């Protein structure tokens, strides 16, 4: 039986770039140095320092709105905005950042570090928890790279004071903090105006 080879797959066409060649501005690729196989009987473990890989951590927090409390979000007071319920000041942005840093450093979470059973943290400011968290992360031998936070909910509108809020939290951890926000387009508990949520990621180095 004669087998007819299938035609090669069609090469994707490249859009007309008006004479500009894709990749023409890139340096010529450099061939990697050949890697010699380890000689037979060589020990598998080499006496070299382990690479200092970055570690990421994730944090989430949610608090219900409480009109009777001052609104503290992302280390900043928001006059005229609904406050947040909680054992502390309910600053979801600072709390999510704490959890992300603790997670990156393998130091547990907010509850295991500052549980509601510890009266000394009652009504604590988010910035106070974050300052203490950064101290614990550094004491465990980590450098803090950065923290990124996203607020999820309608109020407060972080965009109106983003730089101020980022600076307040950056001062607390001694590293850059970026804050974004989304409203969820009216969906879910945040859309119904029941509360505010935040998610954060942190990067630390050993
Ligand atoms: N608490 C918030 C929520 C949103 N923003 C800003 O509004 C933009 C549009 O929100 P979507 O839900 O439609 O994505 C968002 O990108 C933020 O710039 C805010 O400042 N504070
Ligand atoms: C911060 C702590 C402690 O004061 O209390 P809350 O303000 O209730 O915050 P939450 O993020 O729900 O839990 C962590 C608690 O340990």
* Atom number, ligand 1, closest to the C-alpha of residue 153: 1
- ipTM score of complex: 0.90
* Atom number, ligand 1, closest to the C-alpha of residue 162: 20
State the pLDDT at residue 201: 99
Task: Provide the whole-model pTM.
Answer: 0.79
Query: C-alpha 63: how far from its chain's center?
Result: 19
Q: What is the pLDDT of residues 193-206, one digit of tens each?
A: 999 999 999 999 99
User: Which structural domain range is residue 181 located in?
Assistant: 55-205
Question: Over the Cα atoms of the chain, what is R_g?
Answer: 25
Ligand 1 centroid distance, CA of 163 (Å) = 15
Residues 6 or more apart whose Cβ sits within 8 Å of residue 181: 150, 151, 152, 153, 157, 158, 159
19 has a pLDDT exceeding 50: no
162 has a pLDDT exceeding 60: yes
State the pLDDT at residue 6: 57
Q: What is the mean pLDDT of the chain?
A: 85
State the pLDDT at residue 51: 74
Alpha-carbon span 200 to 99, nearest angstrom: 8
Alpha-carbon span 100 to 61, nearest angstrom: 10
Report which bound ligand comes closest to the CA of 193. 1
- Name the token pair of 147: 């923290």
Which tops the pLDDT comparison, 135 or 18?
135
Ligand 2 centroid distance, CA of 128 (Å) = 12
**b/e map of 165-182 (b: 16 or more CB within 10 Å)?**
bbbbbbebbebebebebe
Q: What is the mean pLDDT of residues 54-69?
A: 98
Number of domains in the chain: 1
114 has a pLDDT exceeding 90: yes
Q: Is the CB of 153 under 6 A from ligand 1?
A: yes
CATH for 83: 3.30.1330.50
């Amino acid at each position: 039986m004669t087998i007819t080879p299938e035609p090669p797959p069609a090469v994707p066409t490249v859009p007309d770039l008006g004479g500009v060649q894709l990749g023409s501005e890139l340096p010529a690729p450099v061939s990697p140095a050949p890697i010699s196989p380890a000689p037979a009987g060589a020990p598998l473990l080499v006496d070299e320092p382990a690479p200092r890989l970055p570690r990421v951590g994730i944090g989430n927090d949610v608090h219900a709105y409480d009109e009777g409390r001052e609104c503290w979000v992302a280390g900043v007071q928001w006059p005229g905005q609904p406050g947040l319920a909680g054992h502390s000041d309910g600053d979801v942005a600072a709390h999510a950042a704490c959890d992300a840093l603790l997670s990156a450093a393998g130091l547990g979470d907010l509850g295991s570090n500052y549980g509601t059973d510890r009266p000394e943290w009652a009504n604590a400011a988010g910035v106070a928890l974050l300052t203490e968290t950064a101290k614990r992360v550094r004491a465990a031998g980590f450098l803090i790279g950065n923290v990124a936070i996203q607020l999820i909910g309608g109020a407060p509108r972080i965009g109106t004071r983003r730089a101020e809020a980022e600076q307040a939290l950056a001062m607390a951890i001694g590293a850059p903090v970026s804050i974004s926000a989304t409203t969820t387009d009216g969906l879910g508990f945040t859309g119904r105006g029941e509360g505010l949520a935040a998610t954060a990621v942190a990067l630390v180095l050993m």
